Amino acid sequence: MTTDDIGLLDGPEMDALRELRADVPGPTATQRQAAWERVQGARSHAEPRGRRGGRVWLLAGAAAAVVAGGVVVATSGPDPAPPASTSDQSSSAAPTNLNPNPTPFATGKAWEPSNPTERKIIETYRDDHVHLLPDGGVRIDIPPKMNWEAMTKATNAEGIPVRFWAVSGTRNVWEIGATMTIDPEDGVDMAAEPGEPYPSDGVTFERSGGTDSPVTAVVFDHVPTEPVDINFTQ
């Protein structure tokens, strides 16, 4: 038996409810557009990764290639949060402007923390290891056992396009490597030719002791505005 069969659709109570509802305004055009954008965002968020199959953090170093996948892209773990609004997405992708200079680097999906544990590590690196110097330079303190993916995300989140790549070889060798082409969505573009290394002038690798001792800090005499790729062994 339906509500129409028992006469509930026509009666004083329903008439009063209709009169009350008539005073409530419907959604505005802006609200309808925002709802549509959220639906579209949810659909695109569920689509497969980009043209290179989501291969991220694939390093072709002089001595070895290192693949580090799960830490970089959220392929496992808790269900993703609902898609943010357009304004939230643009603000979260922007650096916090520790870098006083304009930079061509922009963070993207490949640099988003994949889980709360990684997010905490990145925040710690940003707070404790990335320092803007009074003379306009930047100092990156290197912990004894550095999570290089997290440190790269930490510097990039501060608007500093310094990227660390762990390679195999003799321990405690640090050098500025060829510039890797990076896609904010998919990570390293393996189809692209590596570019020229960032000039070493103005970059200092501080060590705990002699030439072969561990590096304790990477110091730039000015905040770089071009990508700096640093290959290291530890």
Contacts of 231 (CB under 8 A, 6+ apart): 61, 62, 165, 167, 173, 174, 175, 176, 177
**Does 219 map to a domain?**
yes
Indicate the number of domains in the chain: 1
Indicate whether 87 belongs to any domain: yes
Instruction: Please tell me the predicted confidence (pLDDT) of residue 1.
Output: 53
Exposed / middle / buried, residue 81 (Cβ in 10 Å: 0-12, 13-18, 19+): exposed
What is the pTM (predicted TM-score) of this model? 0.59
At a CB cut-off of 8 Å and minimum separation 6, what does 196 contact? 178, 179
- The answer to the question of residue 127 being in a domain is yes
pLDDT, tens digit (0-9, with 9 covering 90-100), for 105-117: 777 888 889 899 9
Residue 78 lies in a domain: yes
Indicate whether 180 belongs to any domain. Answer: yes
Could you tell me if residue 36 is inside a domain?
no
What pLDDT sits at residue 105? 74
In this prediction, residue 36 carries a pLDDT of 65
**Does residue 99 belong to any structural domain of this protein?**
yes
Q: Quote the pLDDT of residue 111.
A: 87
Q: Is residue 157 part of a domain?
A: yes
Residue 67's domain spans which residues? 52-232
What pLDDT score was predicted for residue 129? 97
Q: Which amino acid is it at 117?
A: T
The CA-atom distances, in angstroms, between 159 and each of 24, 94, 108, 174 are 47, 8, 12, 22
Using alpha carbons, select from 179, 140, 155, 165 the residue that is nearest to residue 57: 165
Give the three-class secondary structure for 207.
strand
pLDDT-flagged residues of the chain (< 50): 44-95, 97
pLDDT at 14: 73
